[in-house]
Amino acid sequence: MSAQHTILSQIIAIIEQDQLPIGAHLAAQKIADRLRVSRSPVNDALVVLSESGIVARQPNRGYFLAQDPSSIDPSLQKRAGWTEVDVVTDTYFKIADALLRGELPLECSEALLRARYGLTNEQVKALLTRISTEGWVSRKPGYGWAFSSMMTTPDSLLQSYRLRLALEPAALLEPGYRLLPGVLERCRAAEQHLLDGGIDTDTADQLHDRGVRFHESLVEASGNPFFIDTIKRVNRVRRLLSYRSMRDRARYKQHCAQHLEVLRLLEQERNEEASEALAEHLRSTLKNLTQISGMLRS
Protein backbone atom coordinates (compact mmCIF):
# COMPACT_ATOMS: atom_id res chain seq x y z
CA MET A 1 0.00 0.00 0.00
CA SER A 2 1.66 3.25 -1.13
CA ALA A 3 0.87 6.89 -0.55
CA GLN A 4 0.06 7.03 -4.27
CA HIS A 5 -2.80 4.56 -3.78
CA THR A 6 -4.09 6.67 -0.90
CA ILE A 7 -4.20 9.72 -3.21
CA LEU A 8 -5.78 7.55 -5.90
CA SER A 9 -8.59 6.47 -3.59
CA GLN A 10 -9.16 10.07 -2.53
CA ILE A 11 -9.46 11.16 -6.19
CA ILE A 12 -12.02 8.41 -6.77
CA ALA A 13 -13.87 9.60 -3.66
CA ILE A 14 -13.94 13.16 -5.07
CA ILE A 15 -15.36 11.87 -8.36
CA GLU A 16 -18.10 9.99 -6.50
CA GLN A 17 -18.84 12.67 -3.90
CA ASP A 18 -19.10 15.48 -6.47
CA GLN A 19 -20.95 13.19 -8.89
CA LEU A 20 -18.72 14.40 -11.72
CA PRO A 21 -20.14 13.74 -15.19
CA ILE A 22 -18.25 11.89 -17.92
CA GLY A 23 -15.96 14.40 -19.60
CA ALA A 24 -15.35 16.46 -16.44
CA HIS A 25 -11.88 18.01 -16.25
CA LEU A 26 -9.74 16.67 -13.40
CA ALA A 27 -7.35 19.56 -12.81
CA ALA A 28 -4.30 18.24 -10.94
CA GLN A 29 -3.59 21.50 -9.12
CA LYS A 30 -7.19 21.88 -7.90
CA ILE A 31 -7.17 18.29 -6.63
CA ALA A 32 -3.81 18.84 -4.93
CA ASP A 33 -5.12 22.00 -3.24
CA ARG A 34 -8.23 20.17 -2.08
CA LEU A 35 -6.25 17.23 -0.66
CA ARG A 36 -3.53 19.54 0.68
CA VAL A 37 -0.72 17.65 -1.01
CA SER A 38 1.81 18.51 -3.70
CA ARG A 39 0.90 18.18 -7.36
CA SER A 40 3.35 15.33 -8.04
CA PRO A 41 1.50 12.45 -6.25
CA VAL A 42 -1.77 13.64 -7.80
CA ASN A 43 -0.23 13.43 -11.28
CA ASP A 44 1.11 9.96 -10.47
CA ALA A 45 -2.35 8.80 -9.37
CA LEU A 46 -3.97 10.28 -12.49
CA VAL A 47 -1.54 8.27 -14.63
CA VAL A 48 -2.69 5.08 -12.86
CA LEU A 49 -6.33 6.04 -13.43
CA SER A 50 -5.65 6.71 -17.11
CA GLU A 51 -4.01 3.27 -17.45
CA SER A 52 -7.16 1.78 -15.90
CA GLY A 53 -9.43 3.67 -18.30
CA ILE A 54 -11.21 5.77 -15.68
CA VAL A 55 -9.68 8.99 -16.98
CA ALA A 56 -8.38 9.95 -20.40
CA ARG A 57 -5.41 12.22 -20.98
CA GLN A 58 -5.72 14.83 -23.70
CA PRO A 59 -2.42 16.37 -24.88
CA ASN A 60 -1.90 19.92 -23.65
CA ARG A 61 -5.27 19.83 -21.86
CA GLY A 62 -4.91 17.39 -18.98
CA TYR A 63 -7.07 14.57 -17.63
CA PHE A 64 -10.79 14.09 -18.12
CA LEU A 65 -13.22 11.60 -16.58
CA ALA A 66 -13.83 8.79 -19.05
CA GLN A 67 -16.04 6.39 -17.07
CA ASP A 68 -17.63 5.78 -13.70
CA PRO A 69 -15.05 4.30 -11.26
CA SER A 70 -17.66 1.83 -9.97
CA SER A 71 -17.92 0.29 -13.44
CA ILE A 72 -14.31 -0.94 -13.42
CA ASP A 73 -13.81 -4.73 -13.18
CA PRO A 74 -12.91 -5.63 -9.55
CA SER A 75 -10.10 -7.90 -10.83
CA LEU A 76 -8.53 -4.88 -12.53
CA GLN A 77 -8.82 -2.92 -9.31
CA LYS A 78 -7.02 -5.71 -7.47
CA ARG A 79 -4.21 -5.83 -10.04
CA ALA A 80 -3.84 -2.06 -9.78
CA GLY A 81 -3.53 -2.35 -5.99
CA TRP A 82 -6.68 -0.39 -5.19
CA THR A 83 -8.09 -3.04 -2.89
CA GLU A 84 -5.21 -2.45 -0.49
CA VAL A 85 -6.77 0.91 0.24
CA ASP A 86 -9.44 -0.98 2.15
CA VAL A 87 -6.85 -2.18 4.69
CA VAL A 88 -5.80 1.38 5.46
CA THR A 89 -9.39 2.65 5.56
CA ASP A 90 -10.48 -0.18 7.85
CA THR A 91 -7.57 0.49 10.21
CA TYR A 92 -8.32 4.22 10.10
CA PHE A 93 -11.77 3.56 11.60
CA LYS A 94 -10.34 1.12 14.15
CA ILE A 95 -7.87 3.74 15.35
CA ALA A 96 -10.58 6.40 15.51
CA ASP A 97 -12.80 4.11 17.57
CA ALA A 98 -9.91 3.06 19.84
CA LEU A 99 -9.09 6.71 20.54
CA LEU A 100 -12.71 7.50 21.34
CA ARG A 101 -12.82 4.53 23.73
CA GLY A 102 -9.52 5.52 25.36
CA GLU A 103 -7.97 2.19 24.31
CA LEU A 104 -5.10 3.71 22.34
CA PRO A 105 -2.45 5.98 23.91
CA LEU A 106 -2.32 9.51 22.55
CA GLU A 107 1.39 9.03 21.95
CA CYS A 108 2.61 5.93 20.15
CA SER A 109 5.17 4.63 17.67
CA GLU A 110 4.80 3.28 14.16
CA ALA A 111 5.98 -0.07 15.50
CA LEU A 112 3.06 -0.15 17.96
CA LEU A 113 0.53 0.55 15.20
CA ARG A 114 2.17 -1.97 12.90
CA ALA A 115 2.04 -4.71 15.53
CA ARG A 116 -1.42 -3.85 16.90
CA TYR A 117 -3.15 -3.76 13.51
CA GLY A 118 -0.98 -6.16 11.50
CA LEU A 119 0.17 -3.57 8.96
CA THR A 120 3.16 -3.29 6.68
CA ASN A 121 5.54 -0.35 6.88
CA GLU A 122 4.00 1.20 3.77
CA GLN A 123 0.47 0.78 5.12
CA VAL A 124 1.42 2.50 8.39
CA LYS A 125 2.98 5.39 6.46
CA ALA A 126 -0.10 5.75 4.24
CA LEU A 127 -2.38 5.61 7.28
CA LEU A 128 -0.46 8.28 9.18
CA THR A 129 -0.26 10.44 6.05
CA ARG A 130 -4.05 10.43 5.82
CA ILE A 131 -4.57 11.15 9.52
CA SER A 132 -1.93 13.90 9.63
CA THR A 133 -3.49 15.51 6.54
CA GLU A 134 -6.78 15.64 8.44
CA GLY A 135 -5.00 17.27 11.35
CA TRP A 136 -5.45 14.87 14.27
CA VAL A 137 -1.99 13.37 14.49
CA SER A 138 1.46 14.94 14.26
CA ARG A 139 5.01 13.63 14.34
CA LYS A 140 6.80 14.10 17.66
CA PRO A 141 10.24 15.69 17.65
CA GLY A 142 12.68 12.85 17.21
CA TYR A 143 10.51 9.75 17.48
CA GLY A 144 6.87 8.64 17.46
CA TRP A 145 3.52 10.27 16.83
CA ALA A 146 1.07 12.20 18.97
CA PHE A 147 -2.68 12.11 18.44
CA SER A 148 -4.56 15.31 19.18
CA SER A 149 -6.80 15.23 22.25
CA MET A 150 -9.11 17.58 20.35
CA MET A 151 -12.30 15.96 19.04
CA THR A 152 -12.05 12.87 21.24
CA THR A 153 -14.95 13.89 23.48
CA PRO A 154 -18.61 14.56 22.65
CA ASP A 155 -18.26 18.09 24.04
CA SER A 156 -15.64 18.84 21.38
CA LEU A 157 -18.06 17.98 18.59
CA LEU A 158 -20.74 20.21 20.11
CA GLN A 159 -18.21 23.02 20.45
CA SER A 160 -17.27 22.69 16.78
CA TYR A 161 -20.94 23.08 15.81
CA ARG A 162 -21.26 26.19 17.97
CA LEU A 163 -18.28 27.68 16.14
CA ARG A 164 -19.83 26.79 12.79
CA LEU A 165 -23.12 28.32 13.90
CA ALA A 166 -21.29 31.59 14.53
CA LEU A 167 -19.41 31.61 11.22
CA GLU A 168 -21.26 29.81 8.41
CA PRO A 169 -24.49 31.91 8.37
CA ALA A 170 -22.34 35.08 8.47
CA ALA A 171 -20.39 33.91 5.41
CA LEU A 172 -23.60 33.99 3.34
CA LEU A 173 -23.92 37.72 4.11
CA GLU A 174 -20.45 38.68 2.87
CA PRO A 175 -20.37 41.45 0.22
CA GLY A 176 -20.09 39.96 -3.25
CA TYR A 177 -21.27 36.52 -2.13
CA ARG A 178 -21.81 34.36 -5.22
CA LEU A 179 -22.61 30.66 -5.40
CA LEU A 180 -21.89 29.62 -8.99
CA PRO A 181 -24.76 27.80 -10.79
CA GLY A 182 -22.59 24.72 -11.39
CA VAL A 183 -21.70 24.46 -7.71
CA LEU A 184 -25.32 24.94 -6.70
CA GLU A 185 -26.48 22.17 -9.02
CA ARG A 186 -23.72 19.84 -7.79
CA CYS A 187 -24.82 20.42 -4.20
CA ARG A 188 -28.46 19.88 -5.11
CA ALA A 189 -27.65 16.63 -6.94
CA ALA A 190 -25.71 15.35 -3.92
CA GLU A 191 -28.72 15.94 -1.66
CA GLN A 192 -31.04 14.22 -4.11
CA HIS A 193 -28.68 11.24 -4.23
CA LEU A 194 -29.04 10.88 -0.46
CA LEU A 195 -32.83 11.12 -0.62
CA ASP A 196 -32.87 8.51 -3.38
CA GLY A 197 -31.26 5.94 -1.09
CA GLY A 198 -27.76 7.16 -0.37
CA ILE A 199 -28.63 7.81 3.27
CA ASP A 200 -28.82 4.06 3.82
CA THR A 201 -26.17 2.86 1.36
CA ASP A 202 -23.36 5.44 1.55
CA THR A 203 -20.38 4.66 3.75
CA ALA A 204 -19.57 6.82 6.77
CA ASP A 205 -16.73 8.35 4.73
CA GLN A 206 -19.10 9.29 1.91
CA LEU A 207 -21.77 10.69 4.22
CA HIS A 208 -19.27 12.82 6.10
CA ASP A 209 -17.57 14.10 2.95
CA ARG A 210 -20.85 14.97 1.21
CA GLY A 211 -21.87 17.08 4.20
CA VAL A 212 -18.47 18.72 4.38
CA ARG A 213 -18.49 19.58 0.68
CA PHE A 214 -21.98 21.13 0.98
CA HIS A 215 -21.04 23.43 3.84
CA GLU A 216 -17.59 24.27 2.51
CA SER A 217 -19.07 25.10 -0.90
CA LEU A 218 -21.43 27.60 0.71
CA VAL A 219 -18.61 29.22 2.68
CA GLU A 220 -16.20 29.25 -0.28
CA ALA A 221 -18.74 31.30 -2.24
CA SER A 222 -18.17 34.15 0.24
CA GLY A 223 -14.68 34.66 -1.17
CA ASN A 224 -13.48 35.46 2.36
CA PRO A 225 -10.30 33.41 3.01
CA PHE A 226 -10.63 33.74 6.79
CA PHE A 227 -14.08 32.12 6.81
CA ILE A 228 -12.92 29.45 4.39
CA ASP A 229 -9.72 28.52 6.24
CA THR A 230 -11.44 28.36 9.65
CA ILE A 231 -14.28 26.13 8.47
CA LYS A 232 -11.92 23.77 6.65
CA ARG A 233 -9.74 23.42 9.75
CA VAL A 234 -12.77 22.59 11.88
CA ASN A 235 -14.02 20.04 9.37
CA ARG A 236 -10.66 18.26 9.23
CA VAL A 237 -10.57 17.55 12.95
CA ARG A 238 -14.25 16.87 13.69
CA ARG A 239 -14.31 13.73 11.52
CA LEU A 240 -13.78 11.31 14.42
CA LEU A 241 -16.96 12.01 16.35
CA SER A 242 -18.87 12.76 13.18
CA TYR A 243 -18.46 9.09 12.23
CA ARG A 244 -19.74 7.95 15.61
CA SER A 245 -22.84 10.15 15.28
CA MET A 246 -23.68 8.51 11.94
CA ARG A 247 -24.88 5.36 13.67
CA ASP A 248 -28.23 7.14 13.84
CA ARG A 249 -29.10 8.13 10.26
CA ALA A 250 -32.77 8.86 10.83
CA ARG A 251 -32.17 12.60 10.91
CA TYR A 252 -30.52 12.76 7.47
CA LYS A 253 -33.75 13.23 5.53
CA GLN A 254 -34.36 16.36 7.59
CA HIS A 255 -30.80 17.50 6.88
CA CYS A 256 -31.34 17.06 3.13
CA ALA A 257 -34.58 19.05 3.20
CA GLN A 258 -32.86 21.85 5.11
CA HIS A 259 -29.90 21.87 2.72
CA LEU A 260 -32.20 22.05 -0.29
CA GLU A 261 -34.11 24.97 1.24
CA VAL A 262 -30.86 26.91 1.76
CA LEU A 263 -29.91 26.26 -1.86
CA ARG A 264 -33.34 27.41 -3.07
CA LEU A 265 -33.01 30.70 -1.22
CA LEU A 266 -29.46 31.30 -2.43
CA GLU A 267 -30.52 30.59 -6.00
CA GLN A 268 -33.11 33.36 -5.62
CA GLU A 269 -30.43 35.63 -4.08
CA ARG A 270 -32.38 35.81 -0.80
CA ASN A 271 -29.19 35.61 1.21
CA GLU A 272 -30.52 36.95 4.50
CA GLU A 273 -33.24 34.30 4.55
CA ALA A 274 -30.71 31.67 3.45
CA SER A 275 -28.41 32.72 6.29
CA GLU A 276 -31.20 32.29 8.84
CA ALA A 277 -32.22 28.94 7.29
CA LEU A 278 -28.62 27.73 7.55
CA ALA A 279 -28.44 28.89 11.17
CA GLU A 280 -31.66 27.02 11.96
CA HIS A 281 -30.24 23.91 10.29
CA LEU A 282 -27.09 24.05 12.41
CA ARG A 283 -29.14 24.71 15.57
CA SER A 284 -31.31 21.67 14.90
CA THR A 285 -28.24 19.53 14.22
CA LEU A 286 -26.69 20.75 17.47
CA LYS A 287 -29.89 19.83 19.32
CA ASN A 288 -29.91 16.35 17.74
CA LEU A 289 -26.28 15.75 18.69
CA THR A 290 -27.00 16.80 22.27
CA GLN A 291 -29.76 14.18 22.39
CA ILE A 292 -27.48 11.36 21.18
CA SER A 293 -24.49 12.34 23.34
CA GLY A 294 -24.79 8.97 25.06
CA MET A 295 -24.13 7.23 21.74
CA LEU A 296 -21.08 9.41 21.20
CA ARG A 297 -19.69 8.35 24.55
CA SER A 298 -20.38 4.65 24.06
Model pLDDT for residues 9-53, shown as the tens digit of each residue: 778 877 876 768 889 999 999 888 887 777 888 888 888 888 888
Among 130, 147, 164, residue at a domain's last position:
147
Contact 1, 128 (CB under 8 A): no
Question: 181: helix, coil or strand?
Answer: helix
Domain of residue 106, residue span: 84-147
**Range with top average pLDDT, 99-103, 161-165, 166-170, 238-242:** 166-170
pLDDT at res. 295:
46
The mean pLDDT value of the chain amounts to 82
CA dihedral 118, 70, 241, 186 (to 10 degrees): 150
Residue 192 confidence (pLDDT): 92
> What percent of the chain lies above the pLDDT cut of 90?
33
Residue 171 in this model has a pLDDT that exceeds 80 = yes
Rounded CA-CA distance 57/211 in Å is: 30
How confident is the model at residue 97, as a pLDDT?
76
* CATH code at position 210: 1.20.120.530
How many C-beta neighbours within 10 Å does residue 142 have? 5
Separation of alpha carbons 273 and 260, rounded Å: 13
The residue-averaged pLDDT of 229-247 equals 72
How many independent structural domains does the chain possess?
A: 3
pLDDT of 218: 96
CATH of the domain at 49: 1.10.10.10
Q: Looking at residue 127, what is its pLDDT?
A: 85
- Residues 266, 274 contacting (CB under 8 angstroms): yes
Q: How far apart are CA 91 and CA 29, in angstroms?
A: 29
* Same domain membership, residue 173 and residue 48: no
**pLDDT of 276 strictly over 60:** yes
| Residue 1 pLDDT class (50, 70, 90 cuts) | very low
Cα separation, 193 vs 187, in Å, equals 10
Same-domain pairing of 129 and 160: no
- CA-CA distance, 143 to 256, in Å (whole number)? 45
| Residue 29 and residue 103 in one domain | no
Q: Please give the single-letter amino acid code of residue 255.
A: H
Interval 128-151 mean pLDDT: 81
Amino acid 239: pLDDT: 67
Q: What is the pLDDT of residues 48-101, one digit of tens each?
A: 888 888 899 998 899 999 887 665 554 545 544 554 446 777 788 788 778 877
Spatial distance between the Cα atoms of 94 and 221, rounded to a whole number of angstroms:
35
pLDDT at residue 275 above 90?
Answer: yes
Looking at 130-134, 136-140, 249-253, 280-284, which range is the least confident one?
A: 130-134
| Beta carbons of 42 and 14 less than 8 angstroms apart | no
Q: Average of pLDDT values for 160-175?
A: 94
Q: Confidence class of residue 220 from pLDDT cuts 50, 70 and 90? A: very high
* pLDDT of 4 over the 70 cut: no
pLDDT reported for residue 70? 60
**Order of strands, sheet of 107-108, starting from the edge strand that comes earlier in the sequence:** 107-108, 145-147, 137-139
At which of 147, 162, 197 does a domain end?
Answer: 147
What pLDDT, on a 0 to 100 scale, did the predictor assign at position 32?
Answer: 85
Same domain, yes or no: 159 and 293: yes
- Please identify, among 79, 103, 119, the residue that sits at the C-terminal boundary of a domain: 79
Q: Who contacts 260 (Cβ-Cβ below 8 Å, separation ≥6)?
A: 188, 191
Of the two residues 278 and 33, the one the predictor is more confident about is: 278
Is pLDDT above 50 for 124? yes
Q: What is the structure's pLDDT at 296?
A: 46
